[in-house]
């Protein structure tokens, strides 16, 4: 079973696009991690928003040390996620 996590901060303008990208490849169940509801020491706060992890590997986004917006090519997302699911 694959673990897919969507990490984002409240008000992220791209979170719905990220959810749509995950669903576009047929994934129904995935975890949502809201950064601003986590303790300050949580490692999830180091990711840009949105970030999609597949089995702990970054499919979309980055680690940048603080919550910031991800620069994303939305057309490439389904393939990047699918590649990590193989």
Q: Say what the pTM is.
A: 0.86
In the predicted structure, residue 20 carries a pLDDT above the cut 80: yes
| pLDDT score, position 67 | 63
| pLDDT score, position 72 | 74
Closest CA to 34 of 17, 51, 22, 54: 51
For residue 23, the SS3 value is helix
| pLDDT score, position 2 | 86
Alpha helix (H) residue ranges in the chain:
15-24, 77-85
Architecture of domain 4-85: 3-Layer(aba) Sandwich (3.40)
**Going along the chain, which residue ranges are E strands?**
4-8, 31-34, 51-54, 57-60
Strand bridging mode 51-54 / 31-34: unpaired
For residue 68, the SS3 value is coil
In the predicted structure, residue 1 carries a pLDDT above the cut 80: no
């Amino acid at each position: 079973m694959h673990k897919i996590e969507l990490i984002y901060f409240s008000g992220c303008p791209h979170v719905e696009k990220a959810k749509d990208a995950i669903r576009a490849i047929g994934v129904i169940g995935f975890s949502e991690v809201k950064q601003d509801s986590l303790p300050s020491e949580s490692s999830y706060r180091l990711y840009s928003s949105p970030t999609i992890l597949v089995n702990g590997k970054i499919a979309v986004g980055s680690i940048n040390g603080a919550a910031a917006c991800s620069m994303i090519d939305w057309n490439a997302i389904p393939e990047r996620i699918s590649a990590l699911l193989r």
